[in-house]
Amino acid sequence: RARGFLTRVYPRLAAWHRYLLHRRDLGGGGLASVVHPWEQGMDNSPAWDAPLARVTPAPARTFRRADLDHGSPEDRPTDLDYGRYVRLAADYRDGGYADGGGEFAVEDPAFNALLIASEQALARIARELGATGSARQARAERLTAALIERTWDPARGIFLCRDVRGGGLIPERCVSGLIPLLLPTLPRDIADRLVRTAHGPHFGLGGTTLLAPSYDLLGEAFDPHRYWRGPAWFNTGWLLERGLRVHGEHQRAGALRAALLELAVASDFAEYVDPYTGAACGATGFGWTAALTLDLLHDDTPPAGDAAVGEAGDIEEFKGVKGGDRG
């Protein structure tokens, strides 16, 4: 049954990748561009400020902000930000979803790192279905080379967003620039530098911060509570934990895993948290925080015959988890 599912879904996933790799290669360098901050997911990241400044905002009276039903206005994107999001979405819709005509087009390192990881996953699916998967693996390697060529900044020790319309790298250190750490074929020197950047003064992981902030602690736009301009998110923490393990940083990965588990419970599975204190921000009982907690616990399953970990009512056990206590 599982293989039958793969047979059905594989061509659809392959078609989605073709779209991203061809129609979304707006910069001509092989990477996919995002055309709206919402599709990348880090809505009001400071990396978007310069590209968004070219967008004329929709008038505030033309839309209602449902996001304010779930969080404080002080923690959310501004009305001006939202006006630009709405304008971009409306123009894209009214243009028949034709790519390449909008003012906002950015090559984001996290978006492309996840695309590369997905190419590697498609290669594994292809092998499961009896094909070689070699073409997809080769494509993943070419994309990794393009990611390094177009977005790696050795002076800052991080991957940066590239403004396709503005024609250059955006000099803002954001957590998206750390996400390529999850790629197993990343050159060793770049992986080592990313680990140092994550644990250094700009992100403070394992030192001044409990989880990696979404934006540079030393950046002018840093705010520990305002959405993607400083708070720490569980999904990016989960990706970084995987990346650390991929590159052999097991002790650091274990410490991050323990922090993610502890803060998920302590914050009532918050949407995001203050990176310094772990105080809950945004919504609580958030779905992906709970889902990623279950995924982290999955690797902690004890041998058969021992008490099951993570079953209903057992989460209290993890309130006091510290690095090294488990596996």
- Residues marked active site are found at 43, 271
Cβ–Cβ < 8 Å for 208, 270: no
Plot region of 186 (φ>0 → left; ψ -120 to 50 → alpha; else → beta):
beta
Q: How far apart are CA 306 and CA 322, in angstroms?
A: 21
Q: How far is CA 242 from the centre of its chain?
A: 12
Q: How many CB atoms lie within 10 A of CB 310?
A: 16
- What are the tokens at 248? 């052999």
CA nearest 65: which of 76, 56, 54, 55? 76
Cβ–Cβ < 8 Å for 296, 241: yes
How is the chain split among helix, strand and coil, in percent rounded to 5? 50, 5, 45
For residue 242, what is the enclosing H or E element?
A: helix 234-246
Q: How far apart are CA 256 and CA 192, in angstroms?
A: 17
Q: How far apart are CA 229 and CA 155, in angstroms?
A: 22
Do the strands 106-107 and 152-153 form a parallel or antiparallel pair, or are they unpaired? unpaired
**Crossing angle, helix 234-246 and helix 287-298, to 10 degrees?**
30
